[in-house]
């Protein structure tokens, strides 16, 4: 009877020629495992990776899609094809890409840009929106690396000045580590970041994913299996469990989506009952702009990657509520961040890269805001971006035709 | 937040083994090996969150200090007092966690993050982005630390050196889950190891058996956990079915991860004792507990059952009671766990009482064993919800199990 591993090895010795008995046969077992995974990639097919339907539903403009996958999906983003019929823009950003106006008018800056600039260089514009909701600076870097890999014609990065140098939250999408690990490995300057954020599992699977579809698709396959298991199980699971009592503090912590919520609750940097704008000012003050933090390395690597890619790239600091900016304290804090970004950007100059280190608040007419950084009308912003991005493309290649259409989103 | 997938830990461990095993095997120096494996353990904790690594660095430094003090004072007049204080100090974090869970979890994260920042500024910055954690592995570390101090007090060890405690404390495979190892299980093996291929082979097979238990058996049954949330919406038959499935899930999940830990140890040349011996095939409560989470059961047998007179007829029932209550309450200090302890104490004492009056048959056929196995499995499965439910859920859940809603 087989009870222990020694019994199993005895069986292997008798019936399988002593599999794994010598280093060579261990190697053989490993090779067969890899071959098995490779073959499984052809036999087992995962359903197409789902996008984020809740965001895509708000995009009414053609040729614009949100390519970000589920928050836990280690593939990070949808496969982006390199269709030469289009002028392809990879537009990266977090919640500051959203334009949520009153009366539920909900759009995205890249989509409105596409409406304003439907053609570049005689080709229809296609925007792949890398919308990393709640993304922090390390997430932005991982996304930039993924976007570069898709070889777009233009990369636009929208960065929130609240979090660019903020050490309170460096990352909220750890699932992106795996997809970007191979690209980070190829950049020695990135290795300290890789060591800080990625795990051996991220690196190994990130490398193996490229060759082994069965591994790459495992998240979808697992979801497929889970759905089937849910169907088999006789246990009825009502979607809305009966609400009983107020959740305990522990349950509240458990329900938080990122660690930042915990730190802001239990190590408050301000009064938790203050209005959102005041709380975000406190966040602005948390930026570390003395050059001694991890954020400096991340921002430097991000700009370095864009510069080295030779892909035309436009990096900008998103808009800030002009009302908040009229407060000298906010203005000074923001100016400090902008100035530091300028210093970092100066070390990563490239003809293809434009770093708009000033917040759009300094450059566009005032627009209404929902809070200090979330806009409610992106018209002037889109107009400004259309103008400056077209100017950059024209500077890089004077024959490029790029002009905002009269009937854009203005 | 507050959730951690143990598989991630083992995935990182086994991938790190691509480098760790060759380096460990190639360098025969014992001190190097101890420090190297200890550092690997620290690194694996750091990956979860730097604050966790900092916490355990403090915990094992304290353990080293305490066992040195116990070693020096063991033969003195106040030695017992020093020993008792040392045990209480090591137990304190775990007991506070079990009694005041919310406050402990909050302050554990706040204080250890502050310590990580103080130790190395960038550790602190990285730490802020990591998930908020329960004190992962604290129970197991507490038992290992106490075991070290007890054995030092009893004279099994003279005071261990820092590298020895560092190696024991951060022995990588058992950081979060798995057997509660004793120092003697790893003390000698670190010095030798020439059966490299054989160790790798046996270790890999054990790890594979662990993976099979986790992914092929336990994973498909994980939905059964829903029985503790949705008991009001399901029929009695479904509840019983799901409860029995959950008991299967519970065993295979835990046993699978134990196999992964033991397999990983074996790959490095360490023979760690088995943690489970197919408990669901046993026919009586005593055999069941002797084969369930054996490393912990043996810890309590050594340190509770024997001192309370488990080997003497007139005190054996008292010893059984205290042992099973300790086993129950390490899960959590709560009313459901007190009930769990009383329930199994009744089972064990009842079995012992009966066995003394009616000795078991020497050999039983499968037909004779099967009803007993089924009855014992059901007996255990009925108690499993007590490990999962809060006090206020106990009566509604068990009422639903008998059709009263």
Relative to beta strand A87-93, strand A154-159 is: parallel
CB pair distance less than 8 Å for B278 and A3: yes
pLDDT value of residue B313: 86
Buried/exposed A272-307: b ≥16 CB within 10 Å, e otherwise: eeeeebebbbebbebbbbeeebbbbbbbbbbbbbbb
For an interface test with A, give the residue of B128, B240, B277 to mutate (most A CBs within 10 A): B128
pLDDT value of residue B53: 96
CB pair distance less than 8 Å for B278 and A169: no
CB of A252 within 8 Å of a chain B CB? The answer is: no
- Kindly list the residues from chain A whose CB atom is less than 8 angstroms away from the CB atom of residue B3: 254
What value does the mean pLDDT take over residues A4-27? 66
pLDDT of residue A18 exceeding 70, the answer is: no
CB of A250 within 8 Å of a chain B CB? The answer is: yes
- Which chain A residue has the Cα nearest residue B230? A237
- Kindly list the residues from chain B whose CB atom is less than 8 angstroms away from the CB atom of residue A295: 125
Residues A270-318 pLDDT 10s: 887 777 667 777 888 889 888 888 999 999 999 999 999 999 999 999 9
Collect contacts of A201-206 with beta carbons under 8 A, ≥24 apart: A201/B8, A201/B11, A201/B12, A201/B15, A202/A74, A202/A177, A202/A178, A203/B15, A204/B15, A204/B18, A205/A74, A205/A178, A206/A177, A206/A178, A206/A179, A206/A180, A206/A181, A206/A182
Please, which pLDDT band fits residue A8 given cuts at 50, 70 and 90?
A: low
Among A12, A21, A237, beta carbon nearest to B197 = A21
Residue A81: exposure state from Cβ atoms within 10 A (0-12, 13-18, ≥19): exposed
Please, which pLDDT band fits residue B154 given cuts at 50, 70 and 90?
A: very high
Instruction: Please state whether A315 falls in left (phi above 0), alpha (psi between -120 and 50) or beta.
Output: beta
CB pair distance less than 8 Å for A259 and B1: yes
A positions 170-209 inside 8 Å of B (CB): 170-172, 196-197, 199-201, 203-204
The ipTM is: 0.89
pLDDT value of residue B10: 95
Least confident of A130-139, B55-64, B180-189, B194-203: B194-203
What value does the mean pLDDT take over residues B115-125? 89
| A322 against A385, higher pLDDT | A385
Enumerate residues 6+ apart whose C-beta is below 8 A from B262: B173, B178, B179, B206, B210, B272, B274, B275
pLDDT of residue A407 exceeding 50, the answer is: no
CB of A16 within 8 Å of a chain B CB? The answer is: no
Residues A39-57 pLDDT 10s: 877 777 766 666 667 788 7
Enumerate residues 6+ apart whose C-beta is below 8 A from B61: none
- Which chain A residue has the Cα nearest residue B239? A235
CB of A255 within 8 Å of a chain B CB? The answer is: yes
- Kindly list the residues from chain B whose CB atom is less than 8 angstroms away from the CB atom of residue A293: 122, 125
What value does the mean pLDDT take over residues A186-206? 94
Relative to beta strand A119-120, strand A106-108 is: unpaired
The dihedrals phi and psi of B148, each to the nearest 5 degrees, come to -65, -45
The dihedrals phi and psi of B27, each to the nearest 5 degrees, come to -105, 110
Distances from the Cα of A232 to the Cα of A235, A304, A314, A369, B85, angstroms: 9, 51, 50, 48, 54
How far is Cα A352 from Cα B328, in angstroms, rounded to an integer? 65
CB pair distance less than 8 Å for A253 and B15: no
A positions 216-245 inside 8 Å of B (CB): 225, 229-230, 233-238, 241-242
pLDDT value of residue A408: 44
| B192 against A188, higher pLDDT | A188
| A108 against A38, higher pLDDT | A108
Biggest alpha carbon distance in chain B?
67
Residues B230-253 pLDDT 10s: 998 889 999 999 999 999 999 999
Residues B380-400 pLDDT 10s: 999 999 999 999 999 999 999
CB pair distance less than 8 Å for B125 and A170: yes
* Tokens representing residue B335 in the block: 């009313």
Closest listed residue to residue B65, CA positions, set B140, B149, B139, B137:
B149
Residues B332-345 pLDDT 10s: 889 999 999 999 99
DSSP symbols for B23-39: HHHH---HHHHHHHHHH
How many residues are present in chain A? Answer: 410
């Amino acid at each position: 009877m087989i009870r222990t591993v020694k019994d199993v090895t005895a069986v292997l010795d008798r019936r399988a020629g002593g599999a794994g008995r010598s280093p060579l046969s261990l190697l053989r077992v490993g090779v067969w495992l890899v071959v098995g995974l490779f073959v499984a990639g052809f036999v087992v097919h995962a359903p197409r990776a789902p996008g984020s339907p809740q965001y895509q539903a708000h995009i009414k403009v053609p040729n614009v899609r949100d390519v970000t996958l589920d928050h836990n999906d280690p593939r990070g983003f949808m496969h982006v094809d390199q269709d030469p019929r289009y002028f392809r823009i990879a537009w990266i950003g977090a919640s500051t890409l959203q334009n949520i106006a009153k009366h539920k008018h909900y759009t995205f800056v890249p989509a409105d840009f596409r409406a304003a600039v439907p053609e570049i260089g005689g080709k229809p514009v296609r925007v792949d929106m890398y919308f990393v909701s709640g993304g922090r600076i390390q997430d932005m870097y991982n996304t930039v690396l993924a976007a570069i890999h898709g070889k777009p014609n233009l990369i636009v990065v929208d960065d929130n000045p609240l979090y660019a140098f903020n050490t309170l939250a460096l990352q909220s999408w750890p699932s992106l580590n795996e997809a970007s690990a191979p690209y980070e490995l190829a950049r020695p300057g990135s290795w300290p970041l890789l060591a800080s954020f990625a795990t051996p599992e991220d690196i190994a699977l990130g490398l193996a994913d490229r060759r082994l579809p069965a591994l790459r698709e495992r998240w979808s396959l697992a979801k497929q299996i889970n759905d089937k298991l849910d169907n088999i199980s006789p246990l009825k699971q009502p979607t809305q469990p009966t609400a009983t009592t107020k959740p305990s503090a522990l349950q509240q912590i458990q329900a938080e989506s990122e660690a930042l919520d915990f730190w802001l609750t239990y190590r408050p940097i301000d009064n938790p009952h203050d209005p959102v704008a005041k709380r975000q000012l406190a966040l602005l003050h948390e930026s570390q702009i003395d050059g001694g933090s991890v954020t400096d390395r991340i921002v430097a690597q991000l700009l370095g990657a864009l510069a080295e890619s030779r892909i035309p790239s436009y990096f900008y600091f998103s808009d800030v509520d002009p009302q908040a900016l009229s407060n000298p304290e906010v203005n000074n804090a923001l100016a400090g961040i902008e100035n530091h970004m300028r210093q970092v950007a100066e070390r990563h100059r490239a003809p293809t890269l434009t770093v708009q280190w000033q917040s759009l608040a300094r450059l566009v007419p005032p627009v209404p805001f929902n809070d200090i950084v979330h806009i409610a009308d992106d018209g002037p912003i889109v107009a400004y971006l259309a103008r400056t991005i077209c100017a950059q493309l024209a500077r890089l290649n004077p024959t490029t035709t790029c002009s905002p259409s009269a009937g854009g989103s203005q | 937040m507050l959730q951690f997938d143990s598989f991630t830990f083992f995935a990182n461990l086994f991938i790190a083994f691509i480098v760790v095993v060759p380096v460990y095997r190639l360098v025969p120096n014992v001190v190097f090996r101890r420090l190297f494996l200890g550092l690997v353990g620290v690194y694996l904790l750091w990956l979860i969150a730097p604050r966790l690594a900092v916490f355990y660095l403090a915990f094992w430094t304290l353990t080293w200090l305490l066992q040195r003090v116990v070693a020096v004072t063991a033969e003195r007049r106040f030695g017992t007092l020093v020993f008792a204080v040392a045990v209480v100090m090591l137990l304190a974090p775990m007991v506070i966690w079990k009694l005041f869970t919310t406050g402990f979890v909050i302050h554990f994260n706040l204080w250890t993050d502050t310590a990580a920042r103080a130790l190395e500024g960038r550790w602190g910055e990285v730490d802020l982005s990591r998930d908020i954690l329960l004190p992962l592995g604290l129970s197991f570390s507490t038992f290992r630390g106490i075991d070290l101090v007890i054995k030092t007090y009893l004279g099994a060890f003279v005071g261990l050196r820092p590298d020895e405690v560092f190696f024991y404390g951060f022995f990588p495979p058992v950081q979060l889950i798995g057997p509660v190892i004793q120092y003697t299980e790893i003390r000698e093996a670190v010095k030798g190891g020439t059966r490299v291929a054989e160790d790798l082979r046996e270790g890999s097979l054990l790890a594979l058996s662990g993976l099979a238990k986790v992914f092929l058996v336990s994973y498909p049954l994980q939905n059964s956990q829903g029985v503790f949330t949705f008991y009001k919406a399901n029929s009695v038959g479904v509840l019983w079915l799901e409860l029995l499935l959950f008991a299967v899930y519970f065993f295979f999940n835990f046993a699978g991860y134990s196999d992964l830990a033991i397999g990983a140890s074996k790959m490095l040349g360490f023979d760690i004792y088995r943690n489970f011996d197919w408990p669901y095939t046993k026919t009586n409560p005593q055999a069941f507990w002797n084969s369930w989470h054996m490393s912990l059961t043996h810890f309590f047998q050594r340190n509770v059952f024997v001192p309370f007179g488990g080997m003497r007829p007139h005190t054996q029932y008292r010893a059984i009671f205290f042992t099973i209550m300790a086993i129950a309450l390490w899960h959590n200090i709560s009313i459901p766990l007190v009930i769990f302890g009383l329930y199994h104490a009744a089972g064990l004492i009842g079995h012992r009482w009966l066995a003394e009056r009616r000795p078991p048959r020497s050999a039983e056929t499968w037909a004779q064993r099967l009803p007993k196995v089924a009855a014992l499995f059901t007996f255990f499965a009925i108690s499993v919800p007590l490990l999962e439910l809060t006090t206020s859920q106990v009566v509604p859940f068990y009422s639903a199990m008998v059709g009263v809603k």
